[in-house]
């Protein structure tokens, strides 16, 4: 059970303060160097770029937050709706100010995104989940972040509990990947299944791994109905 001083909420407006929680968690993630092209100072900008893409374009995502009794953000999750995909539209890229982040990446960093993030990862996801264009055709978890002093206290479970209810309304599979092994037992306890073994990748900076998790819906809508409704 989550701490009694924490309030959980479904929000329909962006909160840039989430980048601070993102940065605090991601600095310990094995893939952080890869996502920042070897420059860990870019972690806050990385988080802000992705959050802008998802939260400033209406109808793209759902956000769930956890706040303590002072109003401070202690955790959050962000999911793209079925039929949506992060940074897939010009509006999202402009809202994200993607060029600002890309201009600060090293050449090796830009190559990593072009080859690994844009090509290899989507193929690995589709294979693991058995769903074509899986990031677009599921209730995809882009972010699940809990501040270090609130980890292990049920905050993540409560946040995902809210998301599961929304996914069930849509009849959508919840899917995500993690690059940090410490998250594997957490997602299993929350109710996810691993449909495939981990995948290993090499980069100019480090070796890293990708684990896959999904949770089937309890609703009755078909995938076609979900995607059609999300695009209307």
pLDDT tens digits along 87-111: 999 999 999 999 999 999 999 999 9
pLDDT of residue 12: 74
Closest CA to 38 of 133, 121, 105, 114: 105
Residue pair 70/220 in contact (Cβ under 8 Å)? The answer is: no
**Pick from 12-26, 53-67, 79-93, 197-211: least confident:** 12-26
Q: How many independent structural domains does the chain possess?
A: 1
Angle in degrees, CA 144, 150, 151, rounded to 5: 60
Q: How far is CA 129 from CA 29, 60, 61, 218, in A?
A: 23, 22, 21, 17
pTM for this predicted structure: 0.91
Euclidean distance between CA atoms 174 and 154, whole angstroms: 19
- Say which residues have a Cβ less than 8 Å from residue 62's Cβ, sequence separation at least 6: 10, 78, 79, 81, 163, 166
Q: What 3-state class would DSSP assign to 171?
A: coil
Q: Is 197 exposed, middle or buried (0-12, 13-18, 19+ CB in 10 A)?
A: exposed
Quote the domain boundaries for residue 190: 7-230
Report how far Cα 13 is from the mean position of its chain's Cα atoms.
17
Tell me whether residue 196 is in a domain. Answer: yes
Residue 207 located in a structural domain:
yes
- Residue 76 domain flag: yes
In a domain, 1, yes or no: no
Query: Can you give the three-state secondary structure of 201-224, one letter per residue?
Result: EECCCCEEEEEEEEECCCCCCCHH
User: Is position 2 within any domain?
Assistant: no
Flag whether 23 is in a domain: yes
Specify the CATH number for the domain of residue 46.
3.40.630.30
- Give pLDDT tens digits for 26-44: 999 999 999 999 999 999 9
Q: Is residue 142 part of a domain?
A: yes
Q: Which residues, listed in sequence order, are joined to residue 8 by a DSSP beta bridge?
A: 66
- Decide if 182 is inside a domain: yes
Residue 117 is classified by DSSP as I
> The tokens of 180 are what?
């940090």
- Evaluate if residue 222 carries a pLDDT over 60: no
Backbone angles phi, psi at 77, to 5 degrees: -130, 150
């Amino acid at each position: 059970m989550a701490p009694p001083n924490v309030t959980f909420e479904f929000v329909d407006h962006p909160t840039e303060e989430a980048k601070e929680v993102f940065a605090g968690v991601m600095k310990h993630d094995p893939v952080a160097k890869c996502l920042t092209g070897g420059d860990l100072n870019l972690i806050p900008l990385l988080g802000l770029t992705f959050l802008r893409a998802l939260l400033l374009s209406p109808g793209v995502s759902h956000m769930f937050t956890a706040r303590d009794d002072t109003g401070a953000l202690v955790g959050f999750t962000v999911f793209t709706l079925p039929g949506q995909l992060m940074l897939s539209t010009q509006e999202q890229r402009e809202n994200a100010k993607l060029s600002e982040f890309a201009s600060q990446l090293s050449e090796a960093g830009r190559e990593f995104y072009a080859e690994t993030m844009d090509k290899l990862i989507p193929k690995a996801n589709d294979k693991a989940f058995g769903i074509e264009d899986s990031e677009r055709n599921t209730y995809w978890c882009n972010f699940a972040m809990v501040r270090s002093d609130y980890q292990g206290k049920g905050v993540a479970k409560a946040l995902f509990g809210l998301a599961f209810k929304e996914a069930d309304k849509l009849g959508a599979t919840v899917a995500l990947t993690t690059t940090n092994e410490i998250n594997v037992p957490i997602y299993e306890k929350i109710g996810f299944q691993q449909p495939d073994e981990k995948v290993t990748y090499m980069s100019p900076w480090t070796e890293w791994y990708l684990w896959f998790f999904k949770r089937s819906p309890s609703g009755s809508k078909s995938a076609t109905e979900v995607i059609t409704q999300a695009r209307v």
